[in-house]
A and B are shown apart, each in its own frame.
Chain A
């Protein structure tokens, strides 16, 4: 649902998303220490593989976005990581959209980056139980942020989408709950097994 296809959004929205994504990805890549690119990239690959895993939910299933968790672990590198994942998805499965790739990158990565920036220091310092709670809240904020941004992308594109854009936000509710729970448990696991993954926050 977070992947808006080609042919839905208007040109101004697509252009704004493209410019914002180009700037954020450039900054994200520049912020990476040359030595650390392989490490960050391999962790980014793990995130992408995890997002392809579908979690059955009642009659349907959900795919995790993992924005909050990526924000916690990858920091600003979330922007190039999400763009690489979306590109790979376009070639592997042929979907996602070419003109909308910038908007989709920002919609997924920006809320994750902001939530990660706020919660990473808290998670790093907290004990296991609190870290899990913060992790869950971080993931929920990121999903909510993505839902709102997808909704806004539609709303800003055409007045015809106004009503639909309000419904879109609610369609994120199941994912928000699942993602908060899974991320919370995941943070709890990582905090016990390899706390430095979360402690070094932006240094993967």
Chain B
């Protein structure tokens, strides 16, 4: 079971912390956009190097990085196995009916480099952002106020339901619940999900009433976002330089 509070993800430290959430969001989008457009291995390795540098600057615990990358590889394993076997090209080795092609291996390796470089970038710039600050940044960037409000509620209540699920699951185990591929287990999960949903709507009604009692105007007061600083300007210049460098390396190297 992997549940964690969404209000406090991890303490923000390092150089990345000095940046405004808006510049981190836009910077990540621009860098990732450039990274996924690369075609040559030189440029992809450079992108991976840049991504590693960003993760180091964000001072993320190595243990966390490994766990998050491992999660990513679940999707990649399929492509890694399939691409060398199915992409046509010069055969490198064959095992019975299966043939590994050079272009397939190249393709698989390229995808792995790109995916990991992009993931590390997102991880360093966005993954270290507190969810509430992301909401505020979205609002400041002109995202629909209604959507931001919905997002803020999900941030606020996800942790609470996470705790409720854990508590209920523990009491299930105390009553002798055993996981497994059995009808009873699935019925128990269904009841658990049902109970959480029923409680959520009841909680939603109480919250809604309490908010109205206090004269909720239909909008959350948003804390004024602090203006951009010199650090953001430097970061923007750095990101632009990196994009030009990566694309240039991709075209001309």
Contacts and interface: CB of A to CB of B under 8 A. Distances in A.
Interface of A: 1, 3-8, 11, 14, 25-26, 29, 32, 34, 37-50, 52-58, 64, 66, 69, 73, 80-81, 83-85, 87-88, 90-95, 97-99, 160-164, 167-168, 171, 178, 181-190, 193-194, 197, 204
A127 to B, nearest CB: 17
Nearest to A73: B197
Given A42-B200, A44-B150, A55-B179, A8 B157 contact: no
A91 B144 contact: no
11 contacts: A5-B118, A38-B153, A42-B207, A45-B158, A46-B197, A49-B3, A80-B147, A84-B150, A95-B68, A182-B193, A189-B195
B190 A92 contact: no
B196 interface: yes
Given A37-B150, A48-B158, A189-B191, 9 more contacts: A5-B119, A29-B150, A32-B146, A42-B153, A43-B200, A57-B181, A98-B29, A168-B78, A185-B187
Nearest to B153: A41
A38 B211 contact: yes
Interface in B180-231: 180-181, 183, 186-187, 189-191, 193-201, 203-205, 207-208, 211, 218
A133 B219 CA distance: 40
Contact of B6 (A5, A80, A88, A94): A88
Given A42-B204, A181-B190, A190-B194, A92 B150 contact: no
Nearest to B31: A98
A38 B207 contact: yes
Q: Closest 8 interchain pairs by CB? A: A185-B190, A94-B127, A189-B194, A41-B153, A46-B200, A7-B114, A49-B161, A45-B157
B167 to A, nearest CB: 12
B244 interface: no
Contacts of A69: 193
Contacts of A11: 36-37
A94 B129 CA distance: 10
A92 B6 contact: yes
A73 B181 CA distance: 27
Q: Place the interface of chain B in its size category.
A: 35 or more
Contact of B68 (A54, A58, A93, A161): A93
A64 B189 CA distance: 11
Given A7-B115, A190-B194, A204-B201, A160 B87 contact: yes
Interface stretch (B69-77, B235-243, B245-253): B69-77
B119 A94 contact: yes
B50 interface: no
B71 A194 contact: no
A183 B190 contact: yes
A34 B149 CA distance: 11
A88 B127 CA distance: 9
- Of the listed residues A39, A45, A97, A168, the one surrounded by the most CB atoms of chain B closer than 10 A to its CB is A45
A58 B6 CA distance: 29
B78 A171 contact: yes
A185 B78 contact: no
Contacts of A188: 190, 194
Contact of B205 (A39, A50, A84, A190): A39
B155 interface: yes
B154 A88 contact: yes
B102 to A, nearest CB: 13
